[in-house]
Amino acid sequence: MRSPISGYTRLTKVHKFSAAGIAAAGVAALAFAVVPASADGEKTVAAVKPVAWNAHSFGETQQQELAKQADRATEQAKADAKKKADEQAAKEKADKERAEQQAASRSAERAPVPAAPVKKTYANNLDGWIREALDIMQAKGIPGSYNGIYRNIMRESTGNPKAINLWDSNAAKGIPSKGLLQVIDPTFKAYHVDGTSWDIYDPVANITAACNYAAKVYGSMDNVNSAY
């Protein structure tokens, strides 16, 4: 009805309830979807579940997903860093081993090769025989000097390594004196010096055996001034 004062139509209770019903129907209509007409030309209405919208819950979901992504990125960074550190450590170890091998190889190359010992040579004469005998005597701890040996040799055999006495008492007994220092066979065998020949006529063997005997009886060949 139109108000006599304002000129507007006043809504009665019936009108208000009708309006509320229409609004409710509009809201309910949102819950349905119109499906294209079926073969017989009729439209089909299908129920659609309303979607609940919660801005707060959606924000929390985004934050959780971002946190997970950050965690995954951190773990990946740690894994990459560990892999890189392991590779660097392996490279450094290989470099160190290679350097040590190269250093050892250079040291081996620089290491001097010990020279083969040079065998001392002696002249094949009276001087050489005396000098060789003296070197052996020194190694064996047998006393004697060049002059003492030379002096007795010249008196006994005049330097003849094949000299033999066939007229003295030893010769009469069947054991003549032989060699440079006129040694009899029993004395030569008893005082033979290791490393020398067992031939009594060998100059070096004869000298060393005679000097070994003289050292035991006279203290040294240097102390012998006559037949012994």
Contact partners, residue 160, CB within 8 Å, separation at least 6: 180
CATH of domain 126-223: 1.10.530.10
Contact partners, residue 224, CB within 8 Å, separation at least 6: 148, 152, 214, 218
pLDDT tens sequence across 98-140: 888 888 877 766 666 677 777 899 999 999 999 999 999 999 9
Task: Give the gyration radius of the chain's Cα atoms.
Answer: 64
Phi and psi at 129, nearest 5°, equal -65, -45
% pLDDT > 70, the chain: 70
pLDDT tens sequence across 31-73: 444 444 444 445 444 444 554 545 555 556 777 877 788 788 8
pTM: 0.52
The sign of the torsion formed by the CA atoms of 123, 127, 132, 135 equals negative
